[in-house]
Structure 1
Amino acid sequence: MNDSPGWATPGSSPSDGERPGTDGGAPQSSAPAGGPKWSAEQPPPGQWSSPGSATPEPPRTQPQPQPGTGWGQQPGTPYGYPGGPAPWGKPPAAKPGVIPLRPMDLGEILDGAVATMRSHWRSVLPITLVVATVVQLISVLVQKYMLSDLALSSPEDATVDEMLNDIGATLSVSVVVQFIQLLGTIVVTAMLTMIFSRAVLGRDSSVSDAWRDARPQLLRLIGVTLLTAVGALLLGAVLIAPGLLAENIPLAVLGLLVWLPLIAWLGIKFSLASPALMLEKSTVITAFARSSKLVKGAWWRIFGITVLTALITGFVAGVIVFPFQMGGALAFGGGFDGILNGTGATSWGVLITSAIGLIIAQTIVMPMQAGVTVLLYVDQRIRREGLDLELARAAGLDNYGTTGG
C-alpha cells in the first residue's frame, strides 16, 4: 500500500532467522553516538553502587510501562488482556487491528479473517457481492446457450459420436465458466488484500481506496494466477500425456500419481505469491521467489492451515448452495426425473436459483479464503523478518518493542 510503511520491500527486511531485537538484527538506539544506551526510565550508570562498596545501595526498581498507553486497551488491563498477563502462556502483544503483532496460531489466523469480515463488512461485502453477481450472471448465460444444443438422450440410446460431442461441449462450458470464475477471483483477491492489510493496522478502507491501491498491480496478479495455472497444466501434460499417447494405462496412472503431490507441493510453495505481489509492489518473478522464501521450513504448517480453510469454506458453500440447487431442480427442472436424466439442467429457473445460491456462498467464502492467505503472509513475515515492529510503527505504536511490548 502506498500509505502503509509497514510493508517493507524485499531486501529491506532482515534475512531469514534474524529477528529485530536479536544479534545481527537489533534495532539501533536513538541515543547520540558515544552516549549512554540506557533508556530514559533507568538511572544513569553512576548512581549504581560499585561491587564491594561498604554501604551497598538498595536495589532500584525499574518503572514499569503504564497500562492503557498506546495500545488501545482498557485502563487496568496490561498488554491488552483483561485481568492481567496474556492467557495460555502466550507472550503479550499489541493488537492495533484484527490480529496480535506476534507469531499467530491457527485459531488467531482464522479469527483475524472472520473479524475483518465482521468489522469491515461495508467494504468487504460490496466487493464480493458485486463480483460474484457479475460472474454468476455471465456463467448462467454461458451455460444456457452453450448447453442448450446438447443431445440429452439416455446413454443406452446415444451413439458414440453423440456421447463424445456431449462430453466435449460440457468440458468447453466448464472451461469457460472456470475462466470467468478465475477472473472474478483475481479482482476480489486484489481488492480484499488491501482491505485486510489495512485491517491489520486497525484502519478502515473504502471500496474506492481498495481499488486505487490494487489497480496498479492487477495485471501482474493476473500474470501470477495464469502462470500458476498454465504451469500446472503443462506439468500434468508432461507426466500424464506419454502414457495416454502410448495407450499405456498403468504409465498414465503413474504419471497422475506423481503429478498430484507435485502440484500440491508447488501450490503451497507459491501460495503467498499473491499477497507478496500486492503488498510489496513487486514483479511476478519476485513474488514467486518471495513466496518460496517465506514458505521454506513451514510447508506443512501452511499446508495444514490451507487445507483446513478449504474444508471449512467448502462445507459452508455446500450447505448454502445445495438447497438452492435442489429447490430449483424440483421446482423448475421437472422434479426427480429431470434431475436423473438431466433434461432440466438448462432451464432458466434451475440456472437462476443455483446462481443465487452461488452468489451468497461466494460472498461469504471468498473473503475468508483471501483473508487467511494474507494473514499467513503477515504471520510468516513476523516470524522471519520482524514485520511486527514495522507494523507497530505504521500503526503509531512508537514504543513497541522497547518497553516490554
Structure 2
Amino acid sequence: SAGPGQGPPTGGPGAPGWGAGPGQGPPTGGPGAPGWGAGPGQGPPTGGPGWGGPRWAPKPGVIPLRPLGVGEILDGAVSTARAHWRTVLGISLGVAVFIQLISLFALRFWFGDGSALTALEENPDPTGEEVLDAVADLFALGSVTGLATLIGSVIATAMLTVVVARAVLGREISIAEAWAESRGRLLRLLGLILLTGLIVGAALLVPILIGGISQFVPLVILGVIAGVLLSIWLWVRFCLAAPALMLERQGVFTSLGRSWKLVGGAWWRVFGIQLLILVLVFVVSGIIEFPLTFLAEFVSNGGTNMFVGTEMTWTYLLITGAGAVISSTITLPISAGVTALLYMDQRMRREALDLELARAAGFDTPNDPGAAGPGHPGY
C-alpha cells in the first residue's frame, strides 16, 4: 500500500518524514504555518467521532490515526508504557530515583538531629534568631528539592514525549536514542516551564495582592477567586506548549502561541482531560505512598505527622522514598503520554496531522483499505 519512498520515517520528531510530507522539513513559520503535520492544501479531517461514529483509520502504533476520544488517549498513554516498557521504565525510574535521592539527603540534612527546625520544635519560647534559622532551613530545603524536581521533570517530559511520538508510528526507540533526540531541546524546555510557571503564578498572585491592598474583605475574596480562575485558565491554554516545543522544534514563545491556538475553542475538553489525569495521578500516588508512609512511621516509632514529630531516620526516609519512587515511575509516563497525545489529537482535529502521520507510517491515506494492519477490521 505504500508508494515508492514511503517507508517509515528514519528521523525523529521534527525530521523530514515524521509528520511532514515528502520534501518538507521542520516548520519554519509561526503558529498555523505549514510544517509538522500540516502540508499545503490539507484541511481538517472530515470524518471522525460525532459524524456517524469513528471512521476506520490505520493504527501503526498505540493509537488510531484519527481524532481521538478520551478513552483512546488514556489507552494510548498506557499502551506506550506497555509496548516500550524498557525505555519508559528506564527513563521514569531513573528520573524518580534522581529526585528522591536528592530529596532524601536534603531532608536528612535539614530535618535530622540538630537541625534548626528540630531545635525550634523542642523550644517552646524560641528567639528571633532561631526562628530565622528555621525559616532559612525550610527555604533551603524547598529550593534544593524544587530544583531537583524541575530538572527531573524537564528530562522526563522531553524524553517521554519523544518516546510517545515514536510509539504513535509503531517504531521502537531506546533510551540512548530518546536522549539523543531530546537533549538539544532541554534548555528551551526548561525556559518554557519556568516562563509558564511565572505567568501562571503572576496570574494567581496579582489579583490576590490587589484585593489585599484594598483591605476590603469582599475585594479580598473576589481577588482570591479571580486569581485562582485566571491561573487555571492560563495553565490550560499553555499546557500543550511542551509537546509543541519538542515535536515541532519551535522556540519558547512560538510554542506558547501554538498551545494557545490549539487549545482555543476546546478549553473545556482539554481542561477535563488534564483534570482527570491529575486526579488519577493523585489517587495512584496515594494508594502507593500512604501505606508505605504509615509503615515508615510505625517502623521508626514516629506515628505522628511527618514534620511535627516524626524523626527523620534513614529507615523512615528510605521507606517513604521507595514509595515516592514507585508512584513516580508509574505516573510520570501516563501524565507525559496523555499530554503528548492530547497535543496530537488537537492537531489531528485542526491541522490534519493524521494525514501526515499515516503517510509517514507508510499508508497511502488515513482510510487506505488496502493497508491492513492493527486497527483494520480485517486484520
Q: Normalised by the shorter chain, which TM-score bucket?
A: 0.7 to 0.9
Matched letter for residue 154 of structure 2: I
Q: 1:352 aligns with which of 318, 321, 344?
A: 318
Q: 2 CA distance for matches of 1:245 and 1:218?
A: 39
Map 1:322-401 to 2 at 5 A: 322-332=290-300, 334-336=301-303, 338-339=304-305, 342-401=308-367
| TM-aligned CA deviation for residue 259 of structure 1 | 0.8
| TM-aligned CA deviation for residue 237 of structure 1 | 3.5
Q: Which has the higher contact order (CA 8 A, sep 6+)?
A: 2
2:159 match: 191
| TM-aligned CA deviation for residue 170 of structure 1 | 3.0
2:177 match: 209
1:320–1:361 Cα contact (<8 Å) kept: yes
Map 1:17-36 to 2 at 5 A: 18-19=43-44
1:243–1:252 Cα contact (<8 Å) kept: yes
Q: 1 CA distance for matches of 2:158 and 2:202?
A: 26
Give the 3 Å change call, closer, same or farther, for CA 99–402 of structure 1 in structure 2: closer
2:377 match: none
1:7–1:279 Cα contact (<8 Å) kept: no
**What stretches of structure 1 of length at least 5 have no aligned partner?**
23-87
2:81 match: 117
Once the two structures are superposed, residues 113-144 of structure 1 have per-residue CA deviations (whole angstroms, 9 ceiling, x without a partner) of: 00000110010000111111011101111122
SS at match of 2:148: helix
Q: 1 CA distance for matches of 2:193 and 2:307?
A: 37
| TM-aligned CA deviation for residue 182 of structure 1 | 1.6
Once the two structures are superposed, residues 241-271 of structure 1 have per-residue CA deviations (whole angstroms, 9 ceiling, x without a partner) of: 3444566565443322111111110001011
- Give the share of equivalent positions with the same residue, in percent: 41
Give the 3 Å change call, closer, same or farther, for CA 341–198 of structure 1 in structure 2: closer
Give the 3 Å change call, closer, same or farther, for CA 14–300 of structure 1 in structure 2: farther
Q: 2 CA distance for matches of 1:251 and 1:345?
A: 43
| TM-aligned CA deviation for residue 164 of structure 1 | 6.8
Q: State whether structure 2 residue 130 is matched by structure 1 residue 130.
A: no
1:224–1:274 Cα contact (<8 Å) kept: yes
Q: 1 CA distance for matches of 2:284 and 2:306?
A: 25
Q: State whether structure 2 residue 182 is matched by structure 1 residue 182.
A: no
Once the two structures are superposed, residues 76-125 of structure 1 have per-residue CA deviations (whole angstroms, 9 ceiling, x without a partner) of: xxxxxxxxxxxx94211111100011111110000000000011001000
1:269–1:299 Cα contact (<8 Å) kept: yes
Q: 2:274 aligns with which of 301, 306, 311?
A: 306
Q: TM-score, normalised by structure 2?
A: 0.81
Q: 2:124 aligns with which of 139, 157, 160?
A: 157
2:227 match: 259
Q: 2 CA distance for matches of 1:274 and 1:292?
A: 12
| TM-aligned CA deviation for residue 343 of structure 1 | 3.3
Q: 1 CA distance for matches of 2:339 and 2:70?
A: 12
Matched letter for residue 389 of structure 1: L
Q: 2:17 aligns with which of 1, 5, 29?
A: 5
Give the 3 Å change call, closer, same or farther, for CA 235–339 of structure 1 in structure 2: closer
- Which one has the largest radius of gyration? 1
1:389–1:401 Cα contact (<8 Å) kept: no
1:91 match: 55
Q: 2 CA distance for matches of 1:399 and 1:230?
A: 43
Matched letter for residue 91 of structure 1: R
2:204–2:230 Cα contact (<8 Å) kept: no
CA RMSD, 1 decimal: 2.7
SS at match of 1:219: helix
**What stretches of structure 2 of length at least 5 have no aligned partner?**
1-12, 21-26, 372-379
Q: State whether structure 2 residue 259 is matched by structure 1 residue 291.
A: yes
SS at match of 2:116: coil
